[in-house]
Amino acid sequence: MRDIIISGKRIKTELYFLLIVWGVANLINAFSIWNYETSWVEMITFQPLILMITFFFYLLTIVVRVFISLVSFLVSKVKPKST
């Protein structure tokens, strides 16, 4: 069985993606708190829910990135016809 090696750069990139998605989820939470005029304590008490939303959005970004990679791979394989 072959070993899978993940570079430090790739790990750092994925952590940045995860951090950005966590920040967006917190911004959405802050907007909803502001919009519905509820207590700001919910920024702390809703962190488990925010983490679940973060991982959902992160998985969504993975699906989108894999789709984009697949499309770019298929486009690069198509050779233009010479005239």
pTM: 0.76
Query: Side chain identity at 37, as an amino acid letter?
Result: E
Q: 35-56, pLDDT tens digit by residue?
A: 999 999 999 999 999 999 999 9
What percent of the chain is predicted at pLDDT more than 90?
Answer: 78
Burial of 83 from C-beta contacts in 10 A (0-12 / 13-18 / 19+): exposed
pLDDT along the chain (83 residues), means of 10: 90 94 95 95 95 94 94 84 64
